[in-house]
Amino acid sequence: MRLVVVSAGLSVPSSTRLLADRLAAATAGRTSAEVEVEVEVVELRDLAVEIAHNFTNGFPGRKLAAALAAVTAADGLIVVTPVFSASYSGLFKSFFDVIDPDALAGKPVLIAATGGSARHSLVLEHALRPLFSYLRAVIVPTAVYAASEDWGAEGLPERIERAAGELATLMTGLSTPPTRSGPAKTEKTEKAEKAEKAEKDEKGEFTVVPFADQLAALAAR
């Protein structure tokens, strides 16, 4: 199972990358022992020039093409952006602007963000969640925001674990082929059931109440 992490952090070291790594480790840890999780990190900082060129010439460079392919083929995504001007960063948005509009349809996505103040936490709901809803991704209920004061404080580890558990559940559920609860019905079986039902109707074992009578009975209550 492939888990791809998209980090839009710009500095080195980056709190955005730190949050991304913790979310990835927690998600891998919440899957069953039988499931091997392959984690790949896409650092958008390294793709900035190729993303800009893609807008002007319409073609992705080698590194950008590999990153887009990884995101498209992933069984689940973790996306983390720093907050700039009360929203996701321009680099973050630009990457998802150049990806195929159908690439994320039905794909489980965990959204997260970092910022200097807890007052920017609503960026998850007014910016990131609408973006990935538009791309028809399956967004996990718990989004994770980490302000500067959250590192080392209570609450953040719990939110990370809860969001990771939700993503792991979605990834496992969508990657497992559905199982049948019983034997498949053949055409012969369906014909036999229809014949049996018709026979019971002829014997009067089923009473059909006209719709008008049902409405009259409801009105009389």
Per-residue pLDDT band at 3 (split at 50, 70, 90): very high
Pairing of strands 38-43, 108-115: unpaired
Hunting for tokens 């730190």 — which residue is that? 18
Q: How confident is the model at residue 59 (pLDDT cuts 50, 70, 90)?
A: very high
Phi and psi torsions of 102, nearest 5°: -95, 0
What are 88-125's pLDDT values in tens digits? 999 999 999 999 999 999 999 999 999 998 889 999 99
Angle between helical axes of 90-98 and 48-57 (0-180°, round to 10): 50
Under the banding of pLDDT at 50, 70 and 90, the label for residue 190 is low
Q: What is the dihedral of CA 213, 217, 218, 221, to 10 degrees?
A: 170
pLDDT at 174 over 90: no
Q: Are 121 and 151 in contact (CB under 8 A)?
A: no
Helices (H), 44-116: 48-57, 62-73, 90-98
User: What's the average model confidence in pLDDT over 31-39?
Assistant: 82
Mean pLDDT estimate for the chain: 86
User: Coil, helix or strand for 3?
Assistant: strand
pLDDT at 183 over 50: no
pLDDT tens sequence across 115-157: 998 889 999 999 999 999 999 999 999 999 999 999 988 899 9
Cβ-Cβ contacts under 8 Å for 3 (sequence gap 6 or more): 24, 27, 28, 37, 38, 39, 40, 74, 75, 76, 77, 78, 171
Confidence of residue 178 (pLDDT cuts 50, 70, 90): very low
Tell me the percentage of the chain whose pLDDT exceeds 70.
80
The percentage of residues in the chain with a pLDDT greater than 90, rounded to a whole number, is 66
Predicted local confidence at residue 192, as pLDDT: 64
- Per-residue model confidence (pLDDT) at position 132: 97
